[in-house]
Amino acid sequence: MIFLENNNVVEVSVTILAWCVIAWIAYRLYNRQSDKPKIWKVLVVMLVGLFSFSFNTEIFGTVIRISILPLGVWVLYAYFRKKNEEWQTYRPFAWFGFAANFIFLIFSLLAVPIFQIIYPGGEPSTYLSNIDDASIIPIHPGVKHQEMDKENALATILDFSEEPKQSTDWYYGANLGEDSTNTQEKFPYQLIGAIPKWGSGLISVVYIEEDGKGLLISTPKEQRYFRFKHSLIEGIN
């Protein structure tokens, strides 16, 4: 359970499902053979057939690997080139090993919209599902320590609006000077200890505006900016 909690459960599930589909097709392919080859050799041939020359591309914020050249099949052909009859037996499994790359590709593409439906990135509750142990820490020397309004935090997080980031304006709007204590930082606090939705595997850094009504959520893939009607900081309306 801890493994699934800390990992992308959608990605794990579709990977398992892809392997099940591959195993089922391989079983059907094996049963069609008049001369049944050794199962362990079939598994080795399929695994070698998986190896390919590929390139990575990003689709909807997800890195997808696309196979181009069947390197594993070429290696197997070189190995069996003097054993023509044996090559004829194992060739379908070698090519199926290469084709399995595209089965993984299809399931990886299916995982993208499924993940977005279950874990919508446009909702702060996706990143802050459990805030029981959350706390606010100052990350700028010019602000004082603040307590989080945990009693109303959940209701505050659910009443939000997503607004476009203005990173350039925020940067140049800061009063940059030699004395960092006088710098006007847009997000002088950080929220720590918050837990994302179970099974999302999301890793994020959450910054809080000085009034406690704005969150900048930064993940390895993107940044999102949310505004609330009420403050997450205790004592600020």
Residue 128: exposure state from Cβ atoms within 10 A (0-12, 13-18, ≥19)? buried
Those residues with Cβ within 8 angstroms of residue 129's Cβ, 6 or more apart along the chain or in another chain: 194, 195, 196, 197, 198
User: Is residue 55 a contact partner of residue 105, using CB atoms and an 8 Å limit?
Assistant: no
DSSP labels for 63-115?
A: EEEEEEE-HHHHHHHHHHTT-HHHHHHHHHHHHHHHHHHHHHHHHHHHHHHHH
If one compares 59 and 154, the residue with the highest pLDDT of the two is: 154
What is the reported pLDDT for 170?
A: 59
Instruction: Tell me the average pLDDT of the chain.
Output: 86
Q: And the tokens for 60?
A: 């909807």
Distance (Å, whole) CA 135 – CA 150: 9
Q: pLDDT (tens digit, 9 = 90+) per residue, 181-195? A: 556 778 999 999 999
Distance (Å, whole) CA 149 – CA 176: 30
pTM of the model: 0.78
Output b/e per residue, 158-168; b: 16+ Cβ within 10 A. eebeeeeeeee
* CA dist list (Å): 30 to 37, 50, 75, 109: 8, 17, 21, 28
Torsion of Cα atoms, 180 then 134 then 202 then 208, to 10°: -30
What average pLDDT score do residues 53-72 get?
84
Distance (Å, whole) CA 151 – CA 87: 69
If one compares 72 and 181, the residue with the highest pLDDT of the two is: 72
What is the reported pLDDT for 1?
A: 45
Residue ranges of the domains in the chain?
2-118, 124-228
User: Is residue 93 a contact partner of residue 41, using CB atoms and an 8 Å limit?
Assistant: no
Highest averaged pLDDT of the listed ranges 33-42, 128-137, 150-159: 128-137
